[in-house]
Amino acid sequence: MARQLQTLVGLFSLLLIVLMITGSQAGVITVYWGQNGVGGQNENEGSLADTCATGNYGIVNIAFLYKFGNGQTPSINLANHCDPTTNGCTGLSNDIKACQNQGIKVILSIGGATDTYTLSSADDARSVANYLWNNFLGGQSDSRPLGDAVLDGIDFDIEAGTTEHWDELAKALSEFSQQKKVYLTAAPQCPFPDARLGAALNTGLFDYVWVQFYNNGQCEYSGNADNLKSYWNDKWTTIQAGQIFLGLPASPEAAGSGYIPPDVLNNDVLPSIKGSPKYGGIMLWSKYFDNGYSSAVKPNV
């Protein structure tokens, strides 16, 4: 009996050593959906339900709530998927629920590359937080743009507007987690710290941060991954956040620069970044451009 126990202890110790040596953990793939609707060249993105049914993604960001703040009437833009001005996007509620029933988190992304949003004050930030809670999250409103489905959280893709008050928006949203968990996510640029989201990320309130390692020459892959690895290991994985994701274009056409071929990601980049205990997976921009990329890398993510 003692000899069997010693054998079991030895095997358990060996397993722990192997895990420590590999230092890797399973991650998930996050994808943005909503900016390439049906019709013409946009038909490849497919529906939200189809996106989740692929089985490739663990989190889907609906993009974007592109207008809000400073007294503006908030507006969502989902390209040709639906027309929010006629309540045409409320039908997405069933798709959202279908995704969630598969264990996939569905997040509303606010911001984007337009200059149609801003926050003018702390009070403005709280007002936007209340709007988001009542119209997309666990609150109540007669005019919920995506119907009665309750989204899992809010993604900060802040690429324009003010550099201030995003921390106050994060704090205001996090307070609603006392009623129902609100996941906070962010998509900062890879130059560190992010010019607009630095203060918000310093709150330590963000569950997931997918860093955009593209369209930023100093920290992206450009035939060589050394700068990317340096920014990942020495900067981004040091922030106070639940998990950090490597944000990438899903095809060469998805961004101006920073595309990483699947074999390079699998064999060079992922083995170098998965050792971080904060590694959460990768983020792809976007579903429209993901014509096989996620399938090619998912086993290694």
Average pLDDT over residues 289-299: 97
The C-alpha atoms of residue 143 and residue 174 are separated, in whole angstroms, by 23
User: Which pLDDT score is estimated for 22?
Assistant: 41
Structure tokens at 289: 């451009």
Average pLDDT over residues 20-33: 74
User: Which pLDDT score is estimated for 25?
Assistant: 63
Q: Which residues are catalytic?
A: 159
pLDDT: which is higher, 39 or 195? 195
* Domains along the chain with CATH numbers: 25-300 (3.20.20.80)
Place of tokens 């993009």: 63
The C-alpha atoms of residue 247 and residue 29 are separated, in whole angstroms, by 10
pLDDT in tens, 72-109: 999 999 998 999 999 999 999 999 999 999 999 999 99
pLDDT in tens, 27-36: 999 999 999 8
**Count of positions (residues) in the chain:** 301
The C-alpha atoms of residue 44 and residue 38 are separated, in whole angstroms, by 7
User: Which pLDDT score is estimated for 26?
Assistant: 84
The chain-wide mean pLDDT, for the chain, equals: 91
Average pLDDT over residues 287-300: 97
Q: Is the pLDDT of residue 41 over 80?
A: no
Q: Which of 43-52, 115-124, 227-236 has the lowest mean pLDDT?
A: 43-52
Percent of the chain at pLDDT > 70 equals 89
Average pLDDT over residues 232-260: 97
Residue 156, phi then psi, degrees to nearest 5: -95, 100
User: Which pLDDT score is estimated for 10?
Assistant: 47
Q: C-alpha distances in angstroms, 201 versus 65, 188, 210, 230, 289?
A: 20, 9, 12, 20, 28
Kindly report the number of other CB atoms within 10 A of residue 261's CB atom.
14
User: Which pLDDT score is estimated for 5?
Assistant: 42
Contact 246, 273 (CB under 8 A): yes
Q: Is the pLDDT of residue 37 over 70?
A: no
pLDDT in tens, 3-18: 554 544 444 444 333 3
Q: Is the pLDDT of residue 212 over 90?
A: yes
User: Which pLDDT score is estimated for 161?
Assistant: 87
Q: Is the dihedral of CA 176, 154, 156, 208 positive or negative?
A: positive
User: Which pLDDT score is estimated for 17?
Assistant: 36
The C-alpha atoms of residue 103 and residue 61 are separated, in whole angstroms, by 14
